[in-house]
Amino acid sequence: MKTYTLNDVIELVDKYEGDIVNFCSEEKAVDDIWIKKAEKTLGLQFTTSYKAFLKKYGGGEIAGYEIFSLYKDCVEFPFNDIVHQNLNYYRKEGFATPEQLVVNRTDFGETFYFDYTQFRDGECPLYVMLPSEDCEYYASNFYEFLCKRIMEHVGGGMTMQTKDATEILKKVGWEPHRDEIGDMFAYYHLPDRIVRIHYGVIDYGQDSGRLWVSSSLTTVAYCLGCEYINGKESQHQYEDMLISSEENFGVTALEFFENHVKVALNKVLAWAQEQDIEQKLREESANHSLIAKALLGDIEALRNYKSISQLYTPEFSDYEKMTQVERAIFFAEAYKNNELDDLLARKKPKQRSISLTTATRILKTEGWLATEPGKMWLVLPDRFIQFDFGFIRLHDDYNVHLEAEISNEEISVACHYIHDSGKYRKISATNIYQSFNTIGGGLFSGVDKGIDIRVETLNEQELIKISERIIQWARAQDLQGSIEGKTLVQKYNYNTDIIWHLACLALTGKINVLKSYQNLLALGTISEHLESNIVEKSVKYAVEFAEKHLKILKEREVADARIGVQSLAFLNTVSKTLKMMNWTVYRDKNYNYNAYFISKDRIINIVYSFDRKGKIPVVVFKASLSTLAFSTAHRDVFFEKPQYIALKEAEEVYTVSSVEVEEGKLKQICADILEWADQQNVNQIIYDYAALPTDSEFCLAEFHLIALILTGNVKKLKFYKESFQRKNYLGFVDTITRYDIDKALTLAQGYRTFFQKTL
């Protein structure tokens, strides 16, 4: 067996550079300090061959597929970095264990990773995980991995590709479909059931050229029932499968001819026709499936089914609510009375006045960001919001399913530190730790979680109203009160509850309680309070985080002492009055007093401080404004920056003397500030930033990129990306990296809203 070396890699890279291979140069490569920092963050030692690659090339792509690497031009680990990808995606989502290090993924769902359970003498083999989740040996070291990947794309042994299988499927009546991450599916309609296959052609190793096929089946009624009971339409036509096969119906590379593929597909259809759907429904019904009970017509059992209660949500108290069980009964009765026959026979399209994509586009005009329909996020100055929604038409009305959760940077950093064994994570709206503040109560995206509201007409006005209510709900949540509530010493059994509890103890400086847990661990009696297999590790890192966080708590005390007791009293009076006027009050990272107000898609922020320079002390108010979309996009691209970024600052500074601190005076100041904000043409400001040259100053360069996102200028961002790949940095300041450009381009491609220029 050939032993691959760095020289083998260099030879192939030199031969195919600019064609199949696009690697960085040695000048851009990282040093040992950066490598050790990454190893410490990951908790793994890089292999000798991988470190040689990092020092020689730094990173790059093979056939357009990124090799996860390290890049020294960033202060922290960027989006495509191996540390970021593994910690913030593969490990977080459960796709990789701490003993696996993912280094590459293809559009066909093949994931390549180091297997550190076999780490010996500075090396470990690489495996590939197939879309079926089967894992196969791929290479003995990273040199062999690189050489194989290059040669496979040169054409080393592969004669058929997934697209060839797709063409065969079309010929014999299957309907191919590619999902958002590149996986291929195809559907075949039998009289009483729908067959789905998940398929692809392997492009590596000994099995290169083999077509793999996994199959499952469903019915139109089952899919429609799932939509009714879940309260929202599936994004794909037939998403919910009833029965799956354990057999792989694929063909080998040697058999990969059209007639062999047809034989395999016939086997799939034969398997599908043999399945007893009614028996499967009875089994599912016995396991308390609402959908199965509805399809079997067991309406009495559904009426006796107890719904999970939801917390009262005052922001939506004027809407009629609907539970899963109520929707199941609604569907069961309509199905039993043959009211859905036309829909089930696909003779009549679903009645709807709006699509999920259109609804998402409307919500983007209100400031929300989204890269896929129905899943959005928003950044407010003091908290993050994640918002998922979907809907389904129920005869004359719509059921709208809403899920929302909020968190802030402080809570998420603490929870992730404990959960990730002492590792700090950069927090954005899309990677907050699982929240204990969710609409309707319960775990976010859980079964029967969130709330369901019934609306007569789902149009732009109704969607804007829902958006405003979600933001209103998010602002109304008392995060500090929630943190205090989680510090209560009682019995905790679930991992998530334990991490929440420990994080909140750390954030509130209750290190004595955390150390008492350490003592209970030593005595072996911790289970009286915390019972889980993660307790010992979690308590250790909670104490560690709490000791570090004490510095921040002391800094806050020093900042307050500097202001003085009397001045603090005046500022607190101002804060209480602003809260009564529906402003949200918060302290920024410099411990300054702030308050913000949301009007349509705008954020109006004021910073207020106590000035004792004159004869009579005064409270000084400085106002600025931004838009929800601008602040959200800016924080998404530039993680290390504040959550609120001002588009424009007011020239006028407002003051009120300490003897005039009263509601009437503050109301007038706030009214003047809101009037000023309403007069500003924010669209024109954003277009002006979009027109800035690339050699603009530090902050202006950032604003330029964000403006291009919001105006949907994908073309210019693609040009920037291509220029950066050619190492032409177009005069951008050094703080703008290729990863900032990549992130901006991704957001712009997903944003593409109807942004109107108002002059």
Per DSSP, the residues of 251-267 read: B-STT-SHHHHHHHHHH
- Placement of tokens 């809403």 in the chain: 402
Task: For 678-720, write each residue's pLDDT tens digit.
Answer: 999 999 999 999 999 999 998 999 999 999 999 999 999 999 9
pLDDT at 79: 52
**Contact at 8 Å (CB) between 567 and 444?**
no
Phi-psi region at 445: left, alpha or beta (left = phi > 0; alpha = psi -120 to 50): left
Task: For 605-660, write each residue's pLDDT tens digit.
Answer: 999 998 877 777 889 999 999 999 999 999 999 988 999 999 999 999 999 887 77
Residues composing the chain: 759
Instruction: Return the SS3 of 376.
Output: strand
pLDDT at 156: 45
Read off the pLDDT band of 239 (50, 70, 90). confident
**Mean pLDDT of all residues in 31-53:** 92
Q: What is the pTM of this model?
A: 0.73
Q: Could you write out the three-class secondary structure of 114-168?
A: EEHHHCECCECCEEEECCCCCEEEEECCHHHHHHHHHHHHHCCCCCCCHHHHHHH
pLDDT at 255: 53
Residue-by-residue DSSP string for 190-252: ETTEEEEEEEEE--SSTTTT-EEEEEEEE-HHHHHHHHHHHTS--SSTT---SEEEEEE--B-
**Mean pLDDT of all residues in 458-468:** 95
Quick one: the chain helix, strand, coil %, rounded to 5? Answer: 45, 20, 35
**Mean pLDDT of all residues in 330-346:** 80
> 320-321 and 451-455: which strand pairing?
antiparallel
- Provide the CA 248 distance to its chain's centre, in angstroms: 32
Task: For 576-596, write each residue's pLDDT tens digit.
Answer: 999 999 999 999 999 999 999
End-to-end CA distance of the chain: 70
Choices 3.90.180.10, 3.40.50.300, 3.30.2350.10, 3.40.1580.10: CATH for 6-154? 3.40.1580.10
Instruction: Return the SS3 of 224.
Output: helix
**Contact at 8 Å (CB) between 207 and 250?**
no
- Placement of tokens 């020093």 in the chain: 558
pLDDT at 160: 59
Tell me: pLDDT of 505 over 60: yes
Instruction: Return the SS3 of 693.
Output: coil
- Distance separating alpha carbons of residues 125 and 139, to the nearest angstrom: 6
pLDDT at 755: 45
Task: For 359-378, write each residue's pLDDT tens digit.
Answer: 999 999 999 998 788 999 99
Q: What percent of the chain has pLDDT over 90?
A: 56
Tell me: pLDDT of 452 over 60: yes
Tell me: pLDDT of 253 over 60: no
Other Cβ atoms less than 10 A from the Cβ of 710: the count is 27
